[in-house]
Amino acid sequence: MSQGGGTGIGRAVSLLLSEHGAAVAINYSHSKAEAEDTVQMINSNGGRAIAVKADVSNDGEVRSMVETVAKTFGGLDYLVNNAGITEQLRFDDLDAITREIWDKLFAVNVIGMFHCSRAVAPYMNRRNNGAIVNIGSIAGVTGFGSSLPYAVSKSAVHGLTKSLARALAPNIRVNCVAPGPVDTRWWKGNEEKMQAFAKANLLGRISTPEDIAETVLMPLASQSMTGQIILADNGQSL
């Protein structure tokens, strides 16, 4: 199951998983057209995919979504927690950070991941095997990104990954991919800032969604990896 799989990294992950033979459930909250377009791309190429609406910050909606997916496909093997939101805020303007912004970002970026992971765990345990990959961010390592609350929320995702790895072992492996800047619609209107990041990292480039999808595939497949934060940042953090 690909959470937030209709656009950007989520779409790239969904397409790549399908290419490797996986049946894919694509979760969306607002991007219905994009999610259904991804489903059509997969199905037209001989794959198997469905789109399921759920607000990941709502535990009831998540449980219903997971039940639907499990019934449709006969179980669950993988979860990619990709849904995320941000606010573009100046780092030095602390007064612009409201409680509403904190609550909104943590509800989706952190608690939403927990909801989805908790909901899929019983189905994975029935098969004595499963893998979860959370999409974190280099912002959770460096403390810098689109906004201070976003960076803190991604740091929490990295912590959640380690805690879930302990809680769900030994049947379910939980890892995290932490990308640097990725060329997605998130950067619309902030292209200059994105290119500045490219110039500052060792490889002088910005990742594509397909780059990150290939990285996600590794911890999904590995039977010997859990609790790891995998940096895919073109050398930005060095």
Residue located via tokens 């909606």: 61
List phi, psi (to 5°) of 125.
-65, -30
| Pairing state between β 172-179 and 78-81 | unpaired
Of 28, 78, 123, 150, the catalytic one is 150
DSSP string, 165-221: HHHHTTTEEEEEEEES-B-SGGGTT-HHHHHHHHHHSTT---B-HHHHHHHHHHHHH
Q: Is 78 marked active-site?
A: no
CA-wise closest residue to 187 among 201, 202, 207: 207
10 Å CB burial of residue 15 (0-12, 13-18, 19+) is buried
Strand order in the sheet with 78-81: 49-53, 24-28, 2-3, 78-81, 130-135, 172-179, 229-232
Structure tokens at 124: 């994975």
Angle, CA of 164, 231 and 105, to the nearest 5°: 60
Mind telling me the catalytic residues? 150
